[in-house]
Structure 1
Amino acid sequence: MKEYVLLLFLTLCSAKPLFRPSYMTLKNMMLKDMEEEGDDDDDNSLFPTREPINPFFPFDLFPTCPFGCQCYSRVVHCSDLGLSSVPSNIPFDTRMVDLQNNKIKEIKENDFKGLTSLYALILNNNKLTKIHPKAFLTTKKLRRLYLSHNQLSEIPLNLPKSLAELRIHENKVKKIQKETFKGMNALHVLEMSANPLDNNGIEPGAFEGVTVFHIRIAEAKLTSIPKDNLPSF
């Protein structure tokens, strides 16, 4: 039965993933997660984003937003703007950042520094080749990370242990290191289809301790099911 489940979810089928993240979908996911985890924030609902008041400008109460982006309900939309880098002035209380369909090549160490409430980050369809290993150091509440349709050669190390969903479909990933998913006990959805990953590219113990409900590695170069390296179900 276990082998049948694995065949159904991950092996050599060629269907394209249909999931496209939307504001309402992610909002509902976030509220459900917060309810299940008993989030102790005073502000469980989504409110307009405001920058902390500068004592030298006490009347500056207007919400801040990166130039060209749209900001509302603690969501920052910066998609389809031709951006080559992550905007530098994302409000600290942001919970969702949409940066898909841009030309971002690199995520730097401080791009998301201070975004301690960030829940979802959408970076689909950029030109990413590099993510700094400390880029997610302060995003300890990040639950949804979307990196599909980029040029990453490996799954980033030091991802937040809070991640429940990681989608890295259609990149150039050839290897999954042993430490990649270490401590990520909350990871339930892993989408890695359309990467040039073969059996030798999955290091032994790469999924040790991880319980994934849905894993998909379609359109890869696997010649068999790597049973010893897969997570538990």
Structure 2
Amino acid sequence: MTWIPRWRPNLFLFLLLLVVAALANTSSQNTPCPFGCTCEDTVVSCRGGNLTSLPGALPHPSKITHVVVSGQNGVTTIGNQLRQCIQLQLLNLSANNISVIEDGAFADLSNLSTLILRRNYLHWLDEDTFKGLGLLDNLDLGYNGLTVIRNNTFRELGSLRKLDFTKNHISVVDKDAFRGLTSLVVLNMTRNLLKTVPPFVFSHLRSLEILVLDDNLIEELPDFAFSGLDSLKILRLNGNRLTRISALTFVFQSRKASMVEHLYLKGTNLTEFPEKALSALHNLKTLDLSQSNIKVLHNGSFDKLINLRKLVLVGLNNLTVIENHTFTWLYKLEELTVSRNPVLHTLGGLAMTSFLGNLRLVDFSYNSIKVFHKNMVAWDSDVIVDLTHNAIECDCRAAWMIEALPTAKNPLTRRNGANLTCSGPLGLKDRKILTLPYSAFDCDVTLFGNKDVNRRVKMAAITAAVTSILLITILILIKFRIRWLSFFRRQYRYRSYKNNGMFTVDKNGNCSEEGVPMDVIYTHIH
């Protein structure tokens, strides 16, 4: 009987596995690059390859990190064709005809960090669409046909930082649609069909810093619309139909101060400045209200925005007046652009002051403002000022310009000042202001320049007169105090008699509360 070692069958099995692996490796090495694609090292590109499905066989699939199947392809369905590409990091399937993503299509692509599905025909996403993509960082779903974002669609995407829904047809976002997106930093929902922002819909996005809701159909922002966005820094609401912003829109139920630093409300239907709503944004640095329907900027509109650095008010076709003290308290303001507002004719003399020492740019060009005031900026600072293309009346109120503008510190300010022209009176129309003599302004420039001093002198004179009258009154009271005291004492005793019915007089002639004849009383009180 021949003895056979017990380990020999196991050795045969091991050798068999090696042979199978070698054959498989040889097969993958010999797999040609799909028709219409190029395969270089770890990158497979099938741009414009006229493919109708994803390539299922690729050379060295376990080493591939980038697959691009975009542009002039006709892929309609995403299955698990790329399941062997376990090291895949980027998958670009943009500009295809994809309308279906099979459940578990990405389940084996655990290293995928970027998935681009832009410009396809996706209409539906469910809880298992992105299953297995725990390391996904960037997801682009722009330019599809999505209408609803369902609850828990992204529950497994805990590492996702960028999510793009640009130009879909989204009108409904379920309350827990964004649950699981604990690392999301940027959410772009531009050009969708949202009519409102449901309260707390973003409450799961604690790390979100940038939220873009431009060009939707939003008409009103309700209370606590952005509650939960504790890290939000940039909020864009341009191009919506906003007519009202609730006073509690930017208030968080957590009572934490809002971190929003940049707010864009360009192209809305706001008719009044949302002062109460914006008062909660203490950290706001940039505010753009351009192309809205605001008519008047009132005294104190921006008082609560103490950290504002940049304010843009361009193309407000209904803005007519900026009242006194509108910008007075914006001590940190660096850029103020109030331009191309065709019916803006009045800028209050105290709308802004020279105490705004951080200003680097003041642009009031292309308005219809008739009068600018000297105290609007510190002309000896390095601020750039542009007052061109306005309806400046060259009367006494403009006389200061011929002295302040040519000596302004900033050369751009001096250049802009040289281009200022008169809108009136008729005899000076279209004349350059800085070429006019003092006499053209028909006023005493010196007195005009000292208007503030004269007003202070008058106030001092009035104060001195009132003080003198008060002192004289006090001296008169002091001088006749004995007579007044005597008079009041007699009156008191007489009223005491009437109340008690009688007086008595002692041996010294002093009255008491005992009764005496009327002649004694008369003698005493007179």
Fold in common (TM above 0.5): yes
| Cα deviation, residue 228, structure 1 | 1.5
Among 60, 70, 74, the residue aligned to 1:100: 70
Q: Deviations over 1:118-148 (max 9, x none)?
A: 1000000000010101111110001100001
Q: Deviations over 1:169-196 (max 9, x none)?
A: 0100011121211031110000001010
Larger relative contact order (Cα-Cα within 8 Å, sequence gap ≥ 6): 1
Q: Letter of the 2:201 partner, please give it.
A: N
Any stretches of 5+ residues in structure 1 without a counterpart?
Answer: 1-51
- 5 Å-filtered alignment, 1:144-155, equals 144-155=114-125
| Cα deviation, residue 155, structure 1 | 3.2
- 5 Å-filtered alignment, 1:178-197, equals 178-197=151-170
Note if contact 1:53-1:60 (Cα within 8 Å) is conserved in structure 2.
no
Q: Is 1:221 matched up with 2:193?
A: yes
Q: Is 1:174 matched up with 2:144?
A: no
C-alpha distance in 1 between matches for 2:122 and 2:25: 43
C-alpha distance in 1 between matches for 2:199 and 2:55: 42
Structure 1's 170 and 60: CA in aligned 2 closer, same or farther, altered over 3 A?
Answer: closer
C-alpha distance in 2 between matches for 1:150 and 1:69: 20
Structure 1's 165 and 59: CA in aligned 2 closer, same or farther, altered over 3 A?
Answer: closer
Note if contact 2:37-2:45 (Cα within 8 Å) is conserved in structure 1.
yes
- 5 Å-filtered alignment, 1:67-82, equals 67-82=35-50
Residues paired across the two proteins, number: 179
Partner of 1:83: 51
Partner of 2:364: none
- 5 Å-filtered alignment, 1:17-56, equals 54-55=22-23
| Cα deviation, residue 62, structure 1 | 5.8
Q: Helix, strand or coil for the counterpart of 1:90? A: coil
Partner of 1:142: 112
Note if contact 1:189-1:212 (Cα within 8 Å) is conserved in structure 2.
yes
| Cα deviation, residue 64, structure 1 | 4.0
Q: Helix, strand or coil for the counterpart of 1:229? A: coil
C-alpha distance in 1 between matches for 2:118 and 2:200: 26
C-alpha distance in 2 between matches for 1:191 and 1:72: 29
Please, what is the CA RMSD of the aligned residues? Answer: 2.3
Identity %: 24
Q: Deviations over 1:16-46 (max 9, x none)?
A: xxxxxxxxxxxxxxxxxxxxxxxxxxxxxxx
Note if contact 2:152-2:180 (Cα within 8 Å) is conserved in structure 1.
no
TM-score by length of 2: 0.32
- Higher-helix-fraction structure: 2
Structure 1's 57 and 99: CA in aligned 2 closer, same or farther, altered over 3 A?
Answer: closer
Q: Helix, strand or coil for the counterpart of 1:145? A: strand
Partner of 2:231: none
C-alpha distance in 2 between matches for 1:163 and 1:213: 13
Q: Letter of the 2:98 partner, please give it.
A: L
C-alpha distance in 2 between matches for 1:169 and 1:56: 39
| Cα deviation, residue 226, structure 1 | 3.6
Structure 1's 213 and 60: CA in aligned 2 closer, same or farther, altered over 3 A?
Answer: closer
Among 62, 72, 82, the residue aligned to 1:112: 82
Q: Letter of the 1:177 partner, please give it.
A: R
Structure 1's 226 and 90: CA in aligned 2 closer, same or farther, altered over 3 A?
Answer: farther
C-alpha distance in 2 between matches for 1:80 and 1:58: 29
Partner of 2:134: 161
C-alpha distance in 2 between matches for 1:60 and 1:185: 34
| Cα deviation, residue 55, structure 1 | 3.0
Note if contact 1:53-1:61 (Cα within 8 Å) is conserved in structure 2.
no
Note if contact 2:92-2:115 (Cα within 8 Å) is conserved in structure 1.
yes
Q: Helix, strand or coil for the counterpart of 1:55? A: helix
C-alpha distance in 2 between matches for 1:145 and 1:88: 18
Q: Letter of the 2:81 partner, please give it.
A: D
TM-score by length of 1: 0.70
Partner of 1:48: none
